[in-house]
Amino acid sequence: MSRTELGPVGIYHRVVVYLLFAILLLPLIGTFIYSISSSWSATILPSGFSIKWYAQLWSDPRFLSAFGQSLLVCVGALILSVVLILPLLFVVHYHFPKLDALMNILILLPFAVPPVVSSVGLLQLYGSGPFAMVGTPWILIGCYFTVALPFMYRAITNNLQAINLRDLMDAAQLLGASTFQAAILVVLPNLRKGLMVALLLSFSFLFGEFVFANILVGTRYETLQVYLNNMRNSSGHFTSALVISYFFFVLVLTWAANILNKDKSE
């Protein structure tokens, strides 16, 4: 549709959307400009530009270690979520659909308890004894698994309801497939989009999680957000470069996932 076909109302709506989008981008643009400025204090514009803060950031072994450790715990938690949630959702929706209402309540319990309260309880439970895991990545993977549950459950449940699971399974079984074959070869490919959305939402949230990481592991297993908190007293240019690098990584990851998803759908 051309601009003339949109009419004045359509043009007005588009301008409002673009204006809101620009307002949302302003803080990010300001942070990026500050991250590449050599000095910016008493003037409207920076006195010079430099990428030395990015070079300093990406050559810092402590940052690279924190970045890798954040990836490790997030990916580990998401793999655990997929392995446990997918079979559970299939069983509930195919064999026990009446349990869906109860599952909707139970799955929101991680959000009912504040992270600080949960962390204190976990410190008491896993701080000593045979299951002492405080200060290790294992306790973060377990915590992140529970945090990711609502995102994974809702996205995959909506996808299961959209594909009409029971009819799809019955059709596959009529063609000679077993329940396992139908679930793997027919249902799972149809859940790709819902699973992709769930993984992206969960990863974006977990990669920026701070409370559990700071209380349960701290500097003993420093994640990216803990590193950012510990570096808050350093140069503002350096922390701005860190924030922009974080946003750029999430943006590239989302773009790659969307491209991959589009290519497979075609």
Residue 98: CATH number of its domain: 1.10.3720.10
Same domain (yes/no): 149, 234? yes
Instruction: Report, as ranges of residue numbers, the positions in the chain whose pLDDT lies below 70.
Output: 1-7, 42, 260-266
Would you say residue 156 lies in a domain? Answer: yes
- C-alpha distances (whole Å) from 178 to each of 22, 93, 184, 190 are 53, 17, 10, 17
Hunting for tokens 């992709």 — which residue is that?
196
CB 191 within 8 A of CB 156: yes
Please indicate, yes or no, whether residues 145 and 27 belong to a single structural domain of this protein. no
Same domain assignment for residues 160 and 185: yes
Residues 208 and 89 in one domain: yes
Residue 39 phi, psi (nearest 5)? -160, 135
Q: Is 153 within the bounds of a domain?
A: yes
Question: Which pLDDT does position 7 carry in this prediction?
Answer: 67
3-state DSSP helix/strand/coil % of the chain, to nearest 5 = 80, 0, 20
Number of domains in the chain: 2
| Axis crossing angle, helix 165-174 with helix 137-163, rounded to the nearest 10 | 80
Instruction: Decide if 55 is inside a domain.
Output: no
The reply to whether 79 falls in a domain is: yes
Specify whether 69 is located in the same domain as 45.
Answer: no
Determine the Cα–Cα distance for residues 40 and 257; give it in Å rounded to an integer. 36
Q: What's the confidence (pLDDT) of residue 166?
A: 83
Under DSSP, the state recorded for 185 is: I
Say how far apart CA 165 and CA 185 lie, in whole Å. 13
**146-168 as b/e: b if 16+ CB within 10 A:** bbbbbbbbbbbbebbeeeebeeb
Torsion angles phi and psi, residue 37, rounded to 5: -90, 140
Q: Is there a single domain that holds both residue 34 and residue 138?
A: no
Residues 142 and 168 in one domain: yes
Classify residue 93: in a domain, yes or no.
yes
171 in any annotated domain: yes
Do residues 146 and 121 share a domain? yes
Residue at 56 is within a domain: no
Both 43 and 165 in one domain: the answer is: no
Same domain flag for 107 and 176: yes
Instruction: With respect to residue 54, please indicate whether it lies within any of the assigned structural domains.
Output: no
108 with 194, same domain? yes
One domain, residues 205 and 80:
yes
Reported pTM: 0.80
Range of the domain at 259: 61-265
